[in-house]
Amino acid sequence: MNIVFNFNNEKNEQAFIKESLDHGIIGIKGHRSVGGVRISLYNSIDRPSLDYLLGFMNSFFQKL
């Protein structure tokens, strides 16, 4: 399953992608022609990885 979303503000979207890379979260930049953020959640993702992602997202969005 892929979760795809866009930010209303391009600057925030780019900051989210950059900070995710700084936290070792890779491959979330959306399609080159549509942009956005794409998070892939497949059966192979484990709970600690999901918790790490959610922690990062919560921290990022609290700063906005």
d(CA 45, CA 37): 18
Task: Report pLDDT for 43.
Answer: 76
User: How big is the chain by its Cα radius of gyration, in Å?
Assistant: 12
Number of domains in the chain: 1
Q: For residue 2, what pLDDT is reported?
A: 85
Note the pLDDT tens digit of each residue in 37-56.
Answer: 999 888 788 999 999 999 99
Residue 17: what are its φ and ψ, rounded to 5°?
-65, -45
Rounded to two decimals, the pTM is: 0.87
Measured distance CA(11)–CA(28) in Å, rounded: 16
Residue 14's CATH number: 3.90.1150.10
User: What is the average per-residue pLDDT within 2-30?
Assistant: 94
CB atoms inside a 10 Å sphere around CB 23: 14
**21 is in which domain, residue-wise?**
2-63
Q: What is the mean pLDDT of the chain?
A: 92
Q: 3-state DSSP call for residue 8?
A: coil
Amino acid sitting at position 28: I
